Amino acid sequence: MARGTGRRDVTLQQGLSFGLIGATVLCFIWGRWRYDLVALGALAVGVVSGLIPIKSAFDGFSNDIVVIIASALVLSAAISRSGLVETLMAPLLPRLKDERTQVPVLATVTTLLSMVTKNVGALALMMPSALRIARTTGVAPGRLLMPMSFGSLVGGLAVLVGTSPNIIVSEVRQEALGKPFAMFDFMPVGGTLSVLAILYLAFAYRLLPKERAAAIDIDAALAANAYVTEVEIPEGWAFEQSRVADLRKAAGRAVVVVAVLRGRKRISSPHPNRKLLPGDVVLLEGQQQELNELIVKAKLKFNDADRPVVMAEPTDEVRVVEAVIGAESDLIGHTAKSLTLNDTYGVNLLGVSRAGYRMAGRLATVRMKAGDILVLQGAEQTLPMALQALGCLPLAEREVRLGGMRHALLPTAILAVAMLLVAFGVLPVAGGFFAAAVLVVATGALRMREAYSALDAPVLVLVAALIPVSDTVQASGGTDLIAAWLSGAFHGMPPLLTLTAMMAVAMAATPFLNNAATVLIVAPIGLGLAKHLGLSPDPFLMAVAVGAGCDFLTPVGHQCNTLVLGPGGYRFGDYARLGAPLTVLILVVAPSLIALVWPFAGG
């Protein structure tokens, strides 16, 4: 109840909700348990204590926020799988000779991609190209990756689906005012900040260590295996001038043409000017990713991959996996031809890797040894049994993509249509993006297994569990109470200063709470503060979104920063070296920009 001094009592319900949120935040900061587990624990405590009614405890899992984030992740994976970006970037990459050109171009492309896909998807899409450029030009990966990560964070601020904070503040606005932010409402602020960030990163990357060895994770170590695979030149093939040199050039010289088999004639180490004819079998050696890109780009075909794979069920899918031959394997001493792998086990041999040895013969006639690494193609349900029968072990359960059909334009076209339908109000955001995600799977642009892999389960669970937890503060009147306290503290101060403080709070909280959790907790407080001060809530919601989306100081506040930590060889303090000046720049420029676009006295 209100007192004469203007102070207000804290009710038991408010005290319990504050205690639950406070304990959750402390567990996040402590870092002893996973974010998603902490969020689920908070949800369970809220239900048991009666703070969260059981009938609404799981509403977060059906909330539009979760649907939009999940759909955006699937669409990002489909665009990555399409290879369209690599194709568009291919003419540009050879021109990037040093870091002075590499950093601005890669950071700009990643920033722009973040405006059409989710920012973490855009960064994951561009990282392989950046690492390849770094390897071929001798530039330290650490000079390239962090600027790209920061660019993806700022670029994601420009559209509704670019980053989770935008999606969440839009939902908060929907619940409070009856209308969400539109798809491109974020563009004036986010687009301007993106330009400023790119200009800063184009020069400030020099603050990063120049020589720092990258940490190699298990996937990178496995991907370094050099495979020999054989492909056939199809009828009507017309790639460049159809020479050996054209294949080498298309692969950035990362793939070696070991031999060309023409009828019964074998041409080892063929001359670069040798013409390749339809029906020629070409032995290629290289790492999995480079082989895959060349086979798809040059439209080559596998001999064995054309052999049918028996499906156990109509809904079964074809998988390609990497497996090592065990010491007791029946493959040892035999060839794929003598064992009739396809007829007996239902699998096709697509590639072989043997340490310290380059195989120059046909894959079907290579005698297997223990320790050889094979690339095998088979049906999803029968492949595990085939591996067991052959005495092969899948490498870290890692699926390999070698060849296969790509839909270059389809995912991008579906995404573009969805964004336009949402932008013009034909479909709501959740419905439009969910339909687009279903469509890319239904059309074959992304397999169902790949769609499931694209879903970032910890983030989805974190958001879904925290939605009802954060609602307890609002339902108990806690947000109004905090807003009243803050309005008293900021009474008489310029609104711009209050807005800057709100953004600073979100920036400070994000490294400890995760950006999604920060918005779920801070956005309702910002909304209540604006109400108590008699100001429009829009600039405060925008400030929270920008602040929560701009963690440039740590590797843990956002997935993008975590993603580049190992490959860039970074240490914790490296993020502040490049990120602290950018944080100050955003904090100085963004509030004024937000106030200009979203006036305090707006409706």
pLDDT band at 361 (very low <50, low <70, confident <90, very high): low
Residue 463 burial (10 A CB sphere; 0-12, 13-18, 19+): buried
Q: How far apart are CA 61 and CA 44, in angstroms?
A: 14
115 with 161, same domain? Answer: yes
Q: Looking at per-residue confidence, does 390 or 408 come out higher?
A: 390
Q: Kindly state whether residues 491 and 564 are assigned to the same domain.
A: yes
Residue-level pLDDT at 541: 94
Token readout for 308 is 């049918």
Return the closest-CA partner of residue 128 out of 268, 369, 354, 290.
290
Return the pLDDT at 158. Answer: 92
User: What is the structure's pLDDT at 2?
Assistant: 41
Q: Which tokens in the block code for residue 139?
A: 């530039």
Is the pLDDT score of 547 beyond 80? yes
With a cut of 70, say whether residue 462 has pLDDT above it.
Answer: yes
- 34 inside domain: yes
- Whether 200 and 112 map to the same domain: the answer is yes
My answer on whether 29 and 109 are in the same domain is no
* pLDDT tens by residue, 569-590: 888 788 889 999 999 999 999 9
Per-residue confidence band for 3, with pLDDT thresholds at 50, 70 and 90: very low
Residue 370 has pLDDT above 90, yes or no: no
User: What contacts 354, CB < 8 A, 6 or more positions away?
Assistant: 369, 371, 372, 373
- pLDDT given at position 420: 85
Distance CA 155, CA 500 (A): 21
Same domain assignment for residues 73 and 188: yes
Whether residues 29 and 93 share a domain: the answer is no
Q: Residue 195: which pLDDT band, with cuts at 50, 70 and 90?
A: very high
Higher pLDDT: 296 or 279? It is 279
Residues 102 and 198 in one domain: yes
The candidate with the shortest Cα–Cα distance to 386, out of 318, 436, 435, 285, is 318
Contact 373, 314 (CB under 8 A): no
**pLDDT score at 531:** 86
Within-domain flag for 544: yes
Q: By C-alpha distance, which of 387, 349, 352, 395 is closest to 222?
A: 395
What is the C-alpha to C-alpha distance for residues 518 and 540, in angstroms, rounded to an integer? 14
How high is the pLDDT of residue 593? 96
Q: Give yes or no: residues 435 and 576 share one domain.
A: no
Q: Are residues 432 and 565 in the same domain?
A: no
Strand-pair category, 373-379 with 348-353: antiparallel
DSSP 50-115: TSS-GGGTTGGGGSHHHHHHHHHHHHHHHHHHHTHHHHHHTTTGGG--SHHHHHHHHHHHHHHHTT
Does pLDDT of 315 surpass 70?
Answer: no
Question: The pTM is what?
Answer: 0.70
- Is the per-residue pLDDT at 308 higher than 60? no
Neighbours of 366 (CB within 10 A): 20
Residue-wise pLDDT for 135-179, tens only, equals: 778 888 889 999 999 999 999 999 988 888 898 899 889 888 888
394: pLDDT strictly greater than 70: yes
The DSSP symbol for 208 reads S
Rounded distance, CA 533 to CA 498, Å?
10
Q: What is the mean pLDDT of residues 67-79?
A: 82
pLDDT digit string, tens, across residues 211-265: 766 555 444 544 555 677 888 888 888 877 788 888 888 776 678 888 888 887 8
User: pLDDT tens for residues 487-519?
Assistant: 777 777 899 999 999 999 889 878 766 677 788
What is the mean predicted confidence (pLDDT) over 121-126?
A: 80
Residues in the chain: 603
Tell me if 444 is assigned to some domain: yes
Q: Do 150 and 36 have their domain in common?
A: no
So what's the pLDDT on residue 283? 85
Average pLDDT over residues 83-88: 73
| Nearby residues of 235 by Cβ (< 8 Å), 6 or more positions away | 278, 279
- Among 408, 439, 454, which residue terminates a domain? 454
Please check whether residue 137 is in contact with residue 98, taking contact to mean a CB–CB distance below 8 angstroms.
yes
Residues 145, 569: contact at Cβ < 8 Å? no
Domain span at 77: 67-216+427-454
**139 or 86, greater pLDDT:** 139
pLDDT in tens, 6-22: 455 678 888 888 888 88
- Does 445 share its domain with 528? no
Q: How would residue 5 be classed by pLDDT, with cut points 50, 70 and 90? A: very low
Does the pLDDT of residue 364 top 90, yes or no?
A: no
Task: Evaluate whether 569 touches 212 at the Cβ level (below 8 Å).
Answer: yes
Residue 210 and residue 169 share a domain:
yes
Label residues 140-153 b or e (16+ Cβ within 10 Å = b): bbbbbbbbbbbbbb
Q: Are 518 and 531 in contact (CB under 8 A)?
A: no
Residues 6+ apart with CB under 8 A from 230: 261, 281, 282, 283, 284, 302, 303, 362, 363
Residues 163, 549: contact at Cβ < 8 Å?
Answer: yes
